[in-house]
Structure 1
Amino acid sequence: MLSTKKIFLPLTLLILTLILAACGQSINTNNAAPSAAAATESPTASPVATGDAATTRLYTDYKKREVEIPTDPQHIVYVGSNPGDLLALGIKPAGASLSVIGTQVAYPDLLEGIEDIGYPFSAEKILALSPDLIIFDDWDETGIEALSKIAPTVVVGLDGTFPTEERVRQLADLFGRTEAADRWFNDYQAKVASVKKQLNLTEGDTATSLLVLGSELYIMGGKGLNETLYGQLGFKPAEGVQKLVDAGERFVTISDEVLPQYIGKHMFILTDTSSKTAARQSALMDSGLWKAIPAVKEGRVYTFDSKYNFDDPITLDRLLDEIVEIFGSKGKE
């Protein structure tokens, strides 16, 4: 059976961020971001004069709200599931929504020093950080008004509304980091080209991403891991997956019986280490249905940690390294 129903909190955010889907309180400028389609309509900003120098400026955000923000924010709080977007630009927020994703992302080493504001966010925790700017990219729009009473709040999207590059370039525009974004994207594209050459991938081979999470199986559409497989490495969706992509489906839940309808020449499995997930994966792989799939019989199945199903720049970059390692280990078997 097939289902496209929405999944809701508290487990919702974990599943959706895995399915949709990278110290201190100041900004540093050491890092920079990767790929997709650039924004077609960027939010705008204009300075607001205060004496001899402009200390604030007006910014028109994603919701067409005109917000007066500091020209040089020092205490930033991020509400959303893609803190890697900021980190890729060298911006480390003072606080972020880490309660669900903090242990699920591919860059835990970069989260040190960032305070968890909870999910749903705790107004008290945010107030304690004395933010001068709040970045909002969450599905629950009711939080915008409450946050705006704490500090200037800029809406940059609603839970991963935009493709990766569009999100990152919007933030780069907001923080004056366009050069950092350019470097990130240029470096990423060069790395993609190097990986494709190194792995000698066959352009146009079909591939499928299967997420095993708890007791459920999910086929990914055009998001998550598939942004790299289809958008960068030249794989094509299997026929069943292509229908999902054409319909704009990010993912669907499926039963074992219909799994073969979605499998391409290559199969990429995303999983975690929970006992429930392990039991579900074991039951699937012990089945005759699984063992009859050509990709399984011919050794074209690759297993990844579900943390690589996020689509922030940090994850996309580290995913390339993981793909090289996994394909390399396959070649040694």
Structure 2
Amino acid sequence: MVEHVAGKTCVPLNPQRLVVLGVPTMANALALEVKPVGTTLYFDNIPPYLEGKLDGIKTVGTNQQPNLEKILTLTPDLIITLNDWGASYNQLSQIAPTVVDDWQGYPSWKEHFNFVAEVLGQTEAAKQIWANYEQRIQKLRAALGDQYREIEVSYMYLCCGGISIDLKNSFSGMILDEVGLSRPPTQDLENDSGLVILSEELLTDIDGDVIFISVDEDNDSENMLKQLKQKPLWNKLKAVQQGRVYTVNLQTWRGGNPLAAYAVIDDLFKYLVANQDS
């Protein structure tokens, strides 16, 4: 019996036909070596950290519009969803036992992983995954040494026609903080969503000694980046002047799960640690 935001549900001890509505949930299950039979997706191109891992998993729509008919055809024995995303608990629970996590956005990614581990009966495996995560964090901290103590690292992404920066309590922000990397003052703070959307006039708010930047898959975001690079403010950024702007995968840096976290740490090794084999 599992308590969740929509009530209490009796779930199978070893689910064989798991359906998840949400990429973080899916990746959490994969990290725990439980492969879903169905999932919703919000991207067209599979991010590098999930390549080869989604074979055999059916897509059952998007987070906003899960396809109940497709879910039904998969005959799930358990459904995990987030805060009633796109489909009501009542509808889903008529198909299979359903649990709903109180997802509070990417600031709650660690809590969500632990919730999925509890639902799947994989709490011991989860402890090992957190131990592996901490080992990777400490390895990177040691490799960085003191050279990055005074350096500010910024992360921005272009999506949906806007410029966003992830704050200290975002997914990437938590990783950067645990590694011991400083953030620019405008990013060294928290809010409920873990992010701030900027106008082009506030481009200097993304400034740092190092900038990691992600671009969404759509052409508008690619064009927006090209336009930004032609702005006088862009060339005034410290990281631009020093040639320390690095492009990273958006779905990875906003993945909200341990598999994505491992990949973010690998990126930090790649771009910040000279001659270091991650």
**Alignment CA distance shift 1:330-1:212 (3 Å):** farther
* Aligned-pair CA distance for 1:205: 3.3
Provide the residue aligned with 1:103 in structure 2.
Answer: 45
In structure 2, distance between residues paired with 1:167 and 1:319: 18
Find the aligned partners of 1:177 and 1:162 in 2 and give their Cα distance. Answer: 22
Partner of 1:261: 205
Higher strand share: 1
What is the aligned partner in structure 2 of residue 178 from structure 1? Answer: 123
Q: Give the match's secondary structure for 2:148.
A: coil
State yes or no: 1:289 paired with 2:236.
Answer: no
* Residues 325 and 285 (structure 1), Cα distance of their counterparts in 2 relative to 1, 3 Å cut: same
Q: What is the deviation of 1:273?
A: 5.2
Q: 1:136 to 1:240 in 2, by over 3 A?
A: same
Specify the alignment match of 2:183 in structure 1. Answer: 237
Report what 2:11 is aligned to. 69
The match for 1:306 is: 250
SS of residue paired to 2:11: strand
Please state how far the C-alpha of 1:237 moved relative to its aligned partner. 2.7
Q: CA deviation at 1:60?
A: 1.7
The SS at the match of 2:156 is: strand
Distance 1:242 1:235 in 2: 11
Deviations along 1:123-169, whole A, 9 cap, x unmatched? 11111111111111255375211101111111123364762322222
Over the matched positions of the two proteins, sequence identity in percent amounts to 25
Aligned to 1:93, which of 27, 36, 49? 36
- How many positions carry a matched residue from both structures? 269
Distance 1:227 1:139 in 2: 26
Corresponding letter in the other structure for 2:155: S
Looking at both structures, which has the greater relative contact order when contacts are Cα pairs under 8 Å and sequence separation is at least 6? Answer: 1
Q: What secondary structure is seen at the aligned counterpart in 2 of 1:241?
A: coil
Residue 55 of structure 2 corresponds to which residue in structure 1? Answer: 112
Task: State the AA in 1 paired with 2:237.
Answer: I
CA distance in 2, matches of 1:95, 1:278: 31
Q: Which has the larger radius of gyration?
A: 1
Cα offset, 1:263, TM superposition: 2.2
- Shift of the alpha carbon at 1:118? 0.9
Deviations 1:75-116 (A, max 9, x none): 111112311111111111111112x23525331321111111
Amino acid at match of 2:214: L
RMSD: 2.4
Find the residue that maps to 1:154 and give its secondary structure. Answer: strand
CA separation in 1, counterparts of 2:250 and 2:15? 34
Structure 2 spans left out of the alignment, 5+ residues:
none
Partner amino acid for 2:247? T
Q: Secondary structure at the match of 1:270?
A: strand
**1:324 — aligned with what?**
269
* 2:153 corresponds to: 207
Which stretches in structure 1 are left out of the alignment for 5+ residues? 1-57
